[in-house]
Amino acid sequence: MRKAAKQILWCIAGLIVLCVVLRFAFFNDFSIYSYIPSSKQGEIKVTVEKPEVIHAGEPVRGEGFIRTPVYPGETGTTVLDVTVGESKDGSMHILRVGRFHTVYDKNNDNFTGDTSLLIGVTLFWLFVSAIMLWHFFQAKGTAFYDYSTIYYAGFSLFALVTGLTIMVNTISHAFHPERYNMMTVYSSISGASTWFMKLTAPVMIVFAIVLAVSNIVLMRHEGWQPGNALGLLVSIVIILGEALELYFMMRFSSGSEWEIRLERTLENTYATLFIYCQCMLTGAVICGIKAAKHTPDLDKDFIIIHGCWFRKDGTLPPLLRDRVEKALSFWKTQKETTGKEAIFVPSGGQGKDEPMPEGEAIRQYLQSQEVPEDLILTEFRSKNTFENMSFSKKLIREKNPEGKVIFATSSYHVFRSGIWAKRAGLTAEGIGSRTRWWFWPNAFIRETAGLLHKRWKQELFFLLVLLLFFGLLSMIL
C-alpha cells in the first residue's frame, strides 16, 4: 500500500508540472461568454470599467451567446459589460486579474488555464485507477493475501468511473465552455460519489436480491438463527440505501444558496459513506473469488486442512469433508504429476459439543482414504483460524523449516485464512473447496465483516478522511 501511495504522490507531482506547462503553452488565452438571446440584433458594445486591468478584444456572436476575448493587464478587479444595440440590458461580468496574468470570471468560475487543470484532474483519477489495478494484478501467491488488495480491487473501479466522468466534463468544457462552465464541472467533481452511486445502483439492487434469495434458502436448510440472517440484513440495507439516494435525487431543493449547498453536501457525504462500504464489499468479493479459484504450483511439502464442526459420531459433514477431499485431490494430482508426496496437517481443537479434536477426526478420515500414517502430522489444539496457522507452523518448521505449504479450507474462507497465515508468519497459499450456492453468499458476508472488524480503527480513519474531503468539496465548490 505504501508503494502505491508513493506512486500516487509522484503522479500528483508530475501532473502539477504538466498542468503548468499546458497552462502557459496551450491555454494562455481567455474569453468571457455572455448569454444574450440571438433575437437581440444590433451592434455589440463592450465596456470595461478599468481598461488598465482588462483589455477587451473584438466580440464574436454565437448561438445564444457572445464570446469576448480579453487580455489581462495590471492585477486587480474590474467590471465588463456587454450590450447589444440600443438595449441597456446586457451581461455584466466581474473579472479579476491575478498573478501570472490569470483572469477569473466570478460569474461562472471560469479562469485562464481551467482546461489544463481539468486535464490534470482527469489524468490523476485515471492514473490512480491504473496504479491500483496494476498492484492488484501484481499481487500473486502469498502477497495476494493482504488488506491492500481489497482497496485496489474496490476503489480502482471508483477511481476509474470518477476519472471518466471528469473526462467527459473536461471535453465538454474545452469545446463548449459557453454551456459547460466551471460551476457545472465543480458540481460534477464534488458529486462524484453521488454519480457513482447512481451509476452502480442497478448492479447493487440485483446483488441485493440475489443475496436475499440465497439467504432465505440458507435459513430453510440451516435454521432461522441470527448468524444466518446477516446476508438478508445486508441486502435490506443496500435496498434502503439506494432508495434513500433516489429520494435525495428526486427531492426539490429550495432556500438560500447556503441552504441548498448544505443539502447537497449532506447528499454527497451520505453517498460517500455508502460508496465506501460498497467498494470495500466489492473489493472483498473480488479478492475472495480470485483466492478461491487460485491453483498453487505442484511443489508443496505440507497441506494444512482447516477443521470445523463435525458430527458426534465422528463422521465429517459435507462442509468439512469437502475441505479434506480438496486437499486429497491436490495431493493426488501433485503425486501423479511430480511424484512428490506432501504431508497432511489436519488442524483443529476440540469444541464443547465435539467428541474429539477436529484434527483427529480429519486424521481418521484421511486414514480411511488409505493415506499412510507417516504422511499425517496432526495439530489438535487450535480454536480459531489464527491458531490453525500458528500451531501448524510450529509443527511444520520442526519437521522441515524450508517446506512449502498450502492450506485447504472452504472457498469463501481462503482469502481471510491467507491473511491470518501471513500474520502467523507462515508463507502459505490456499485452495478452496466447493460450497453450496445458497451457503456461499452469507458465509462470505461474514468473512468480509470479520476482515474489517480487525481493522476497524484504520477503516474508520480512512472513512472519516473521505467524508471530510467530499464534504468540504461540496461546501466550497
Residue 56 sits in a domain whose CATH number is 2.60.40
- Give me the percent of the chain exceeding a pLDDT of 70: 91
Total number of domains in the chain: 2
Range of the domain at 355: 302-450
Q: Which cell numbers in the block locate residue 262?
A: 448544505
Residues pairing with 93 in the sheet: 80
What's the full length of the chain, in residues? 477
Between the alpha carbon of residue 439 and those of residues 211, 285, 288, 407, 411, the distances in Å are 10, 15, 15, 21, 11
- List helix spans (H) across 294-439: 318-338, 358-368, 385-399, 414-423
Instruction: Please say if the pLDDT value at position 26 is more than 70.
Output: yes
Which pLDDT score is estimated for 126? 93
Looking up residue 325, the CATH number of its domain turns out to be 3.40.50.620
pTM of the prediction?
Answer: 0.81
Which residue did the predictor score with more confidence, 303 or 32?
A: 303
The strand pairing partners of 433, in sequence order, are 410
pLDDT tens-digit series, residues 146-160 = 888 988 998 898 888
Q: 218-222, 333-337, 343-347, 425-429: which has the minimum mean pLDDT?
A: 218-222
**pLDDT number for residue 394:** 94
**293 φ, ψ to 5°?**
-90, -5
Query: 67, 89, 112: which is the final residue of a domain?
Result: 112
Under DSSP, is residue 384 helix (H, G, I), strand (E, B) or coil? coil
Distance in angstroms (rounded) separating the CA atoms of residues 50 and 62: 26
Most confident of 101-110, 178-187, 325-334: 325-334
CA 210 – CA 298 distance, rounded (Å): 36
Burial class (CB in 10 A: 0-12, 13-18, 19+), 362: buried
Specify the higher pLDDT residue, 351 or 371: 371
Reading the block at residue 160, the C-alpha cell is 476509474
User: Residue 73 corresponds to which cell in the numbers above?
Assistant: 493587464
* pLDDT tens digits along 44-100: 888 888 989 988 888 888 777 888 899 998 899 999 888 887 766 678 888 899 878
Domain membership flag for residue 315:
yes
Beta strand 343-347 with 302-306 is parallel
Of residues 273 and 440, more confidently modeled: 273
For the residues of 260-285, what is the DSSP string, one character each?
A: HHHHHHHHHHHHHHHHHHHHHHHHHH
- Pick the last residue of a domain from 83, 112, 141: 112
SS3 per-residue string spanning 332-363: HHHHHHHCCCCEEEEECCCCCCCCCCHHHHHH
Q: In this model, does residue 235 exceed pLDDT 60?
A: yes
The answer to whether residue 475 scores a pLDDT higher than 60 is no
Is 145 domain-assigned?
no
